[in-house]
Structure 1
Amino acid sequence: MHLLFATQQPSLVKEGLTRNLTYRIALRLTSPDDSKTLLGIPDAAYLTTDTPGRGYFRVNKDVQQFQSARITLPYQPPLSGSGLREIDATGRRRVENTRIEQFLHSLIAQWERAVDIETLEQLINDEFRKLFPRDLTEQERQTVAKRLLQVRSPDGLRETVRSLFEQIQRTVDTELSLIVSAMQQRQPANYAAQKYRVWTAPLPSLLPSHWLPSAVTSAGMQVPLGLLDYPAQAEQRPLLYNPLGADGNLLIVGAAQSGKTTALRALMLGLAARYGPDQLWIYTIDQTGRGCGLWNPDQASLPHIAGAITPQESAAPGDTRSHSASLPHIADAITPQEDQRLERLRVELEDMLDERRDLLRRYGEENLLAYWRRRQDDPSLPPPPPVVLVVIDGVSALAEEYSQALIAFLRDARPYGIVAAITGATYKEVQKWLSVCETRIVLRVNDQEDSDQLLGKKFAARIPPSLPGRGFWRSTEGAVEVQITLPMASELPPEQATDAETFVDPVDEAKALVKQIRDRYAGAPAPVPLRLPETYIDLDTLLAEVAAPAAPFARDTLKFTPLVFDIDNTIPHLLIAGGPGSGKSAALQTLLTTIAARSHPEGVQFALIDYRKRTLAPFANSPFGRDWPVTVPDPVPLAPNPPTNRQNWKGEAETIRMAVSDGQAAGLCIALYDELRNRVQHGRSQPRLFLVVDNLDLMTGNEAGYLGLLAGFSMRSGDIGFHVIITATEFNTSNQLVKAMLAQRCALYLGKPSEPNSDISNLAGTGVKWMKKWAMAPFPPGRGLLRLPDRQLMVQVAHATDATIKRYVTSLAPASMSQHNGHGASVTDGAAPAAASNDVA
């Protein structure tokens, strides 16, 4: 073994090392002391920059000046003669011979005989191949042809061809490369590099996926992601990623155009090519909602994608629609702005986790991989659930609270076959994700500090932009350089890799791979996409789902569980607000219908106020309605204070089933006050009494103050069986009854506010909180936010059709009720039967 090393400061070389040096070479040094240390004389410090390569050679104590040859410059063909000639102060010599001149003489003779241009081109190419170890490129051929057309004399031809040869070889070959090439062609097997690999070739800048091994071990779910370089061992190994094993969650960090999305495509396509949709489901979150480019409804897409639903679309619970242009392993593709679908994804992942915990606990296995192996030995066991890969391309776009929730989920999910692959651009973006990501790949970053924080070295900041996919894999062995594979369907020989970089289209190659995968898994069951809340729910559907006596009226849009109107515990009263078209009146009809469906007229009675005589008319003329004897003042005075002071309370006596004017509303409130006061005195709570007001905004006179007389009774709803439901565009706490109801923290806001892009803490006076992230979410009629004492939910209120209202409400009415002739509203005096409200299109 021989040691060859170089230094710029000989004085820093340890004495023990210099004692074992046989030969010493000193080129130009910066100080006489350095020259004396190495040579024993100061002469090397006096060499000038005019003579690069000039130096001193010392063997033992003998020192000789020498001039080194320069072989790294472009090769220059000899011009004339066959001798040796010194051409500069460095002593560089070049061989000159007559080969080009002889060829030019022959070429001119052919030209003078008017040989065609094509023949002359071929002659030039043949001679070029003799002088240089390759053919002319197509671009060089075009240059030659263009120059030949311009030649008008033999001298012109001679100068043209000579200058072409000199120009071409300067840009292609150096003397060193030609010498090495000639040595390799003469006796390649005799060189040590062929017998003993000292180091491997650098990682390729283009690494097609088919260059990596297609077969992987059966230990889990493995996929080759790239090629690792181990120079110390003189070997390169595939980077095999095993999400079910120790590799776990994957974090990829890199600047723009560093290859992050391509790496995710390589991961998804690599797994999808090896495992079917029954073994792998993929959910993607990226800015385009296109599955990192692998889902496109208009083109062939990865078959693991069941479909992506835009914010304007919806799917019924359990909807398993599958687009024909979807990668079968991808269950859904989401954007970070689709808050509702992101929350739905989190809920479904948590449900999957609970199911997998139960399965593994039942069969005594610690993780899904162990169950997979056991199932291979015992096919009688239930099929294992698929591995779920959550791909997030750009974590910075996720809301902070959602990120924290997902991080907490991922801490426990990996043993159960739910893993994530995440990308970010900087250390700051991914800092909070580091604790849950077992595998880390750092591509090119712009800041050395980012590289240092992520790798412990500044290597990643030194990767040139011209090498997308080049990065470092952080392992227990330190930072290992890696080239991420490029998913390709085309077979590309290694010798074409350099030229191919200019024309390989990663997007087209990915599409071709997707088509191959789709063909392979044609007919395979697709993953179930995310269930989205219905835009319309029939009340009959909810009534069939929920057993009596519970009265369902809406569905939670996140968990899809029915919500019941629980007047004894959570919803003693309800304020309903919303703009035009939001579905307030339809929601009111739904609430009264579900109460009627789960009640008996002997146990429930309605006290109704509806100035428009439409929404509540079907309920007024039903067994749940009631004849209310009232005094109707005209005009309506201020509400008495105290309520028992009625010296000025005068008016016409009437019997009504629904108040449709200000006087009737005031009279009904006085009648209710007396009824409820009597209940308090005698401790009665039956039958349940519901005061229902449709559109409080229309009560603009003194009659609104009469509602305040009932505020104290609303606080004792459970004791006296009194419940209130009021709709309005917006509520004002100046009304004492509304103020008392707000204290119960039960309100429903339907639709979107007028300024949805701002956070609102008290929406329309209901206490409901609106967040601007919902601005782009769909809000069909009946969709809204339900405020309960302990939480807030997004809900879809069911719709009660005319047939449903008739079945549970109006069909129970006795014949005498349809002939009611009181001054209050009834079906016979103009109120529309069970009509849909005006604010529901």
Structure 2
Amino acid sequence: MMSLLHSGHSTRPLFEVAIEQIRAAYSQETARQEGIHYWPDPLPTPSHLLPDPLILFHPGEFDRPATESVHQHPYLAVIPMTRREVLERRNRENIKPSMQIPLGLIDNPEHQKQETLLVDLHGAKDEQAGGPLLIVGAQQSGKATALQTMIFWLVSRFFPEQLHCAIIDPFSELNHLQALSHMYNRQYEHCWTTGSSDEQINRFAKLINTEIQQRRDAFPAQRWNTQTLSQLWTQGHTIPQLLIIISNFQTFSDRHSATIVLKRLTQSVIEARAMGVYLIVTTTETNTRYLPAEIMNKCSTRIGLRLNEQQRHELFGRIPFVPEPVPGRGLIQTPDRKLHHIQIALPLAGKDENVREHHLKTELIDDFHA
């Protein structure tokens, strides 16, 4: 059996060849008749030409940049709608607040299927289902791509008056997004910074804390829970959802003053989740020297991308399986403490990161002028 698998298939993973030969000898129809059901296909296996086969939206006829790339490669769409269709629904529907964000695919072998990976920052079902998101991974592992995909979904789903983003971006990985109207608060103050100075960090924290306090002051008798924000929108009080992103937190580890301010800020944001204030943190490190334990322990959803053995243990504990070391492939631990294989989706298609960023910037500029 082993010699047969190795001959003529040296460039393909062993499990793919084995599955193919099993299927050839034992058809799915025969298996079903005997009460045996195949487990789902593995998550899409990338090649060196296609490091990530998933894109967020289905490419439409008029989505020229994305369509050109899709014709060259077999991309899969996480959302069975074009972005144009999502924008049209946003224009005509009475949208409710939601921080359930489609981010890729998740393996669910317990139910023999793959599902859309939905990150829930708010807690749509109950408070325990939501919470801050932590993404840990080496450089070029897919952290910035995950942020781009989530932001691309949110700005496609919500108008600027319904969603504000505030971002600390030390490496300027999200620089092409900073001109979005969603990056300004209601006083039209820009909420994007590299955080290169303590003054920038202090200003950023003050903007966020002021916004949180304004929400408390606007509804002093309100007892906030997971349903309050949606109820207020229904009553005509469209309080914008506020997403705070601190990218590459490890860059602040040697700046004591900045770290203290950020620790206090994250605590304030976490406590304000019921008021529509949410947190995403990314880092390359899991050691508490680079990421305070107070922050890591509060992140109920954790994603690990291309981690070494020690990092996997610090983030997830002992795990029975290790994902392939390719961009966008990793593990997620959900608030119920379950661990799954995942594949992060690209915001849109493109042969490399520079092309994708250009397409993304063009797409968002078109929105601005629409």
TM-score by structure 1 length? 0.34
Aligned in 2, Cα 1:266/1:171: closer, same or farther, shift over 3 Å?
A: closer
Identify the structure with bigger relative contact order (alpha carbons < 8 Å, sequence gap 6+).
2
Query: Cα distance, 1:369 vs. partner?
Result: 4.7
Q: Secondary structure at the match of 1:226?
A: strand
**Partners of 2:367 and 2:116 in 1: how far apart?**
25
Please give the secondary structure, in 1, of the residue aligned with 2:117.
strand
C-alpha distance in structure 2 between counterparts of 1:411 and 1:281, whole Å? 16
1:2-48, Cα deviation, whole Å (9 max, x unpaired): xxxxxxxxxxxxxxxxxxxxxxxxxxxxxxxxxxxxxxxxxxxxxxx
Aligned to 2:243: 389
Separation of aligned partners in 2, 1:389 and 1:478 = 25
Report if the CA contact (8 A) 2:28-2:37 is conserved. Answer: no
Alignment of 1:293-442 (within 5 A): 293-295=175-177, 302-306=180-184, 320=188, 331-362=190-221, 364-367=222-225, 369-376=227-234, 378-379=235-236, 383-398=237-252, 399-428=258-287, 429-430=290-291, 431-442=293-304
Flag structure 2 segments of 5+ consecutive residues without an equivalent.
47-51, 58-76, 87-94, 124-128, 253-257
Query: How many equivalent residue pairs?
Result: 315
Distance 1:280 1:196, change over 3 A: farther
Give the deviation of 1:453 after TM superposition: 2.2
What is the DSSP-based 3-state SS (H/G/I as helix, E as strand, rest coil) of the residue aligned with 1:294? helix
Report if the CA contact (8 A) 1:283-1:389 is conserved.
Answer: yes
- Asked if 2 retains the 8 angstrom alpha-carbon contact of 1:249 and 1:437, the reply is yes
Q: SS at 1:436's partner residue?
A: coil
Return the offset for 1:253: 1.0
User: 2:342 — aligned with what?
Assistant: 482
CA distance in 2, matches of 1:481, 1:170: 25
Letter of the structure 2 residue corresponding to residue 443 of structure 1: L
Q: SS of the counterpart of 2:262?
A: helix
- Superimposed CA distance per residue, residues 88-123 of structure 1 (whole angstroms, 9 cap, x where no aligned partner): xxxxxxxxxxxxxxxxxxxxxxxxxxxxxxxxxxxx
Aligned residue for 1:267? 150
Deviation string 1:302-332 (CA, Å, 9 cap, x unpaired) is 453459xxxxxxxxxx6x48xxxxxxxxx43
Sort the Cα spacing of 1:350 and 1:229 in 2 relative to 1 into closer, same or farther, 3 A: same
Measured against aligned partners, the alpha-carbon deviations of 1:697-749 in whole angstroms (never above 9, x if no partner) come to xxxxxxxxxxxxxxxxxxxxxxxxxxxxxxxxxxxxxxxxxxxxxxxxxxxxx
Amino acid at match of 1:387: Q
Question: Does structure 2 conserve the Cα–Cα contact (< 8 Å) formed by 1:407 and 1:436?
Answer: no
- In the other structure, the counterpart of 2:316 is 455
- Asked if 1:230 corresponds to 2:108, the answer is yes
- In 1: Cα distance, 2:165 partner to 2:118 partner: 19
TM-superposed deviation, 1:251: 0.6
Large movers: runs of 4+ above 6 Å:
169-174
Instruction: Quote the residue 1:74 is aligned against.
Output: 7
Aligned equivalent of 1:213: 79
1:274–1:507: structure 2 CA closer, same or farther, 3 Å change rule?
A: farther
Q: CA deviation at 1:241?
A: 1.8
- Residues 190 and 199 from structure 1, CA distance in 2 versus in 1: closer, same or farther, beyond 3 angstroms? closer
**Residue 266 of structure 2 contacts residue 279 of structure 2 at CA under 8 Å; is this kept in 1?**
no
Question: Post-superposition shift, 1:511?
Answer: 3.4
| Equivalent residue, structure 1, for 2:141 | 258
Letter of the aligned partner of 1:487 in structure 2? Answer: P
Q: 1:277 to 1:182 in 2, by over 3 A?
A: same
In percent, how many aligned pairs have the same letter? Answer: 26
- Report deviation, 1:240: 1.1
Stretches of structure 1 that go unaligned for 5 or more consecutive residues are: 1-67, 76-168, 308-317, 322-330, 491-502, 524-841
Aligned with 1:192 (options 31, 35, 39)? 31
Structure 1 residues 337 and 177: alpha-carbon distance in aligned structure 2, compared to 1, 3 A threshold: closer
Q: Distance in 2 between matches of 1:248 and 1:231?
A: 25
Q: Distance in 2 between matches of 1:253 and 1:385?
A: 31
Q: What letter corresponds to residue 234 of structure 1 in structure 2?
A: Q
Following TM superposition, by how much is the alpha carbon of 1:208 offset from its aligned partner in structure 2, in angstroms?
1.7
Please give the secondary structure, in 1, of the residue aligned with 2:37.
coil
Q: Is the Cα–Cα contact under 8 Å of residues 244 and 369 in structure 1 kept in the other structure? A: no
AA aligned to 1:278 is: E
Distance 1:69 1:451 in 2: 32
- 1:120-149 Cα shifts (integer Å, max 9, x gaps): xxxxxxxxxxxxxxxxxxxxxxxxxxxxxx
The 1:348–1:179 alpha-carbon spacing in structure 2 relative to 1, beyond 3 Å, is: closer
Please report how far the alpha carbon of residue 472 of structure 1 lies from its aligned counterpart in structure 2 after TM superposition.
1.2
Where in structure 2 are the equivalents of 1:361-760 lying within 5 Å? 361-362=220-221, 364-367=222-225, 369-376=227-234, 378-379=235-236, 383-398=237-252, 399-428=258-287, 429-430=290-291, 431-446=293-308, 448-458=309-319, 462-465=322-325, 467-475=326-334, 476-488=336-348, 490=349, 504-522=351-369
Q: State the 1:402 CA deviation.
A: 1.9
Separation in structure 1 between the aligned mates of residue 226 and residue 18 of structure 2, nearest angstrom: 58
Q: CA deviation at 1:223?
A: 1.5
* Distance in 2, Cα, partners of 1:453 & 1:178: 34
2:117 equivalent in structure 1: 239
The residue identity in structure 2 corresponding to 1:281 is H
